[in-house]
Structure 1
Amino acid sequence: MKMDTTKMKKELENRLKGPNRSISYNREKDELKIVNVRTGKGITIALPGIVAKWHQDKEKAIDEVVYYVEEGLKVMGSENTLLGNDKKIFPIIRSTSFPLESGEGKTFLTEEHTAETRIYYALDLGQSYRLIDEQMVTKENISPKHIKETALFNVRSLSTEVKRDTVAGNVFYFVSTNDGYDASRILNESFLKQMENEISGNMVLAVPHQDVLIIADIQNNTGYDVLAQMAMAFFANGKVPITALSFAYENGELEPMFILGKNRKE
């Protein structure tokens, strides 16, 4: 079967049609827009990108788009409150290129992290989450400090179970639970300190995308090369990419570092 934007448009229209929804097509931009008619809010899909992904992942590419549109429309169609939901507030790591405002112009609540990353805050909704904006905080008369402290407290309650792999004498630890907050574990200072005590070489971390935190015990130059290639591969394939750069960890501080990913002789 050969897939093109016309066929993809028809397939997505069939799978995303439903009550209280309108679907429109922008021929000039080759985009499909699905709108919740009750709220007037919608999600726009660029068809060429989905077609390209289909040629690589087939039906899985369509399934992923449908899933994220469905979940996104659920969030847009519901009233979410912060009051009484402290246990559902978590920090989210994003690239510094990630928008500071929502599509409606509402400023997200954020905190500086590193030169490559920024902290956002989210209200967990089960299968998805909503980024917390300053208007939400003001409307419910909650201090931004409370949101940030609560989020950091909650991230420490998440599992820190790791998978381990060894390559050329270097040890790599992976946190990948797919709960949406794997990269957020980089904010769990007690966990990082615990890992630091177990590491005998140089401790280097990477958060290439939302669903993985890599902690490396680097013993030689080959370890840096392996981590660089690994981080780039994860970054390229992640649903929510963050950064392909790694971070040196020393004295509780994270320092972005550029590693030239090639095989170097010791």
Structure 2
Amino acid sequence: MDSKNMRKELESRLATADRKFTYDRDKDQLRVESKKVGKGITVSLSGIVAKWHTENEKAIDEVVYYVEEGLRAMEDTVQLTDHEKKIFPVIRSASFPAEAEEGVPFLIDDHTAETKIYYAYDMGKTYRLIDSRIMEKEGWQASRIREIALFNVRSLGTALKEDQVAGNTFYFLNKNDGYDASRILNKGFLSEMQKKITGTMVLAVPHQDVLIIADIQNNTGYDVLAQMAMSFFASGRVPITALSFLYENGELEPIFILGKNKRSE
């Protein structure tokens, strides 16, 4: 499989009368655009090809799903009023785009040096990031969206899976509802988890569909967490950061784990 064949495969699967395709040869990117709204999604073919060599058809299926749901979200109308329960915060990397492709800025808040908080309108199988155009159309202030989103994230389930390695305990939250990483904003949940921790509490949000909470008892625990975070980061559909975070006094502090019993803040 090469970029040329991948392009043909994606165009074949995604083609409808209401869409058009544009290929950027220099960047090896394919753009799929909705004629209805004049907006679209751009995907990197080289990245998909690389993933195809390890995951085969699953790599293509994921991209098709991502594009289909993304275009549907663009075409559907966002109505915040009377749909407050659909507003949630989402965590993104600090380098994530600050505006939509049309140059409309998203509503963004600072979180850590590695992460930022965006806000989303849930549309079932996907969601749409809230931008200034949506806020203006609906007549909503940023403070109202923040308050509702942070309230709603507290309503999400927090059931955890648990694993132990070399005396360290690792908890995984992986509901695959698009808001797993968002649970890091649930201060009540983190406070309750801290009561269970007997060592050092360290968290990781390598991609949007997982939150890792670690009870670190020894240096091996840091190495294991670093390897986990990197593995999840490399495989996630929406990667955030491979770095971990110390949790102390209700605050998150990014740490870089050097490996082999060394770490630095």
Q: Distance in 1 between matches of 2:133 and 2:13?
A: 34
The match for 2:18 among 17, 20, 31 is 20
The match for 1:77 among 71, 75, 78 is 75
Q: What is the Cα deviation at residue 135 of structure 1?
A: 2.4
After the TM superposition, which of the residue ranges 171-180 and 252-261 deviates more from structure 2? 252-261
Alignment of 1:74-113 (within 5 A): 74-113=72-111
Partner of residue 227, structure 1? 225
TM-score normalized with structure 2 length:
0.95
Partner of residue 52, structure 1? 50
Partner of residue 68, structure 1? 66
Q: Distance in 2 between matches of 1:176 and 1:193?
A: 19
The match for 1:152 among 116, 137, 150 is 150
Per-residue CA deviations over 1:42-67 (Å, capped at 9, x if unaligned) read 22222222212111111011111111
Poorly superposed stretches of 4+, deviation over 4 Å: none
Structure 1: where are the runs of 5+ without partners? none
Partner of residue 134, structure 1? 132
The match for 1:31 among 29, 32, 35 is 29
Give 3-state SS (helix, strand or coil) of 1:114's partner. Answer: coil
The match for 1:143 among 141, 145, 153 is 141
Per-residue CA deviations over 1:200-235 (Å, capped at 9, x if unaligned) read 111111111111111111111111111111111111
Alignment of 1:126-205 (within 5 A): 126-205=124-203
Note if 1:6 corresponds to 2:4.
Answer: yes
Give 3-state SS (helix, strand or coil) of 1:258's partner. Answer: strand
Give 3-state SS (helix, strand or coil) of 2:124's partner. Answer: coil
Partner of residue 118, structure 1? 116
Partner of residue 238, structure 2? 240
Partner of residue 255, structure 2? 257
**Corresponding letter in the other structure for 2:79:** T
Per-residue CA deviations over 1:13-56 (Å, capped at 9, x if unaligned) read 21111121122333444332222112111222222222121111
TM-score normalized with structure 1 length:
0.95
Q: What is the Cα deviation at residue 121 of structure 1?
A: 0.3
Give 3-state SS (helix, strand or coil) of 2:245's partner. Answer: strand
Question: How many residue pairs were aligned?
Answer: 262
The alignment-based identity, stated in percent, is: 65
Per-residue CA deviations over 1:83-118 (Å, capped at 9, x if unaligned) read 111100000001111111111111111111111111
Give 3-state SS (helix, strand or coil) of 2:47's partner. Answer: helix
Per-residue CA deviations over 1:108-158 (Å, capped at 9, x if unaligned) read 111111111110000000011000112211221112111001000000000
**Corresponding letter in the other structure for 1:74:** R
Q: Distance in 1 between matches of 2:112 and 2:12?
A: 43
**Corresponding letter in the other structure for 2:33:** V
Residue 26 to residue 258, structure 1, CA distance change in 2 (3 Å):
closer
**Corresponding letter in the other structure for 2:55:** D
Give 3-state SS (helix, strand or coil) of 1:33's partner. Answer: strand
Q: Distance in 2 between matches of 1:29 and 1:251?
A: 45
**Corresponding letter in the other structure for 1:163:** K
Q: Distance in 2 between matches of 1:263 and 1:183?
A: 27
**Corresponding letter in the other structure for 1:252:** G
Q: What is the Cα deviation at residue 245 of structure 1?
A: 0.9
**Corresponding letter in the other structure for 2:233:** F
**Corresponding letter in the other structure for 1:116:** E
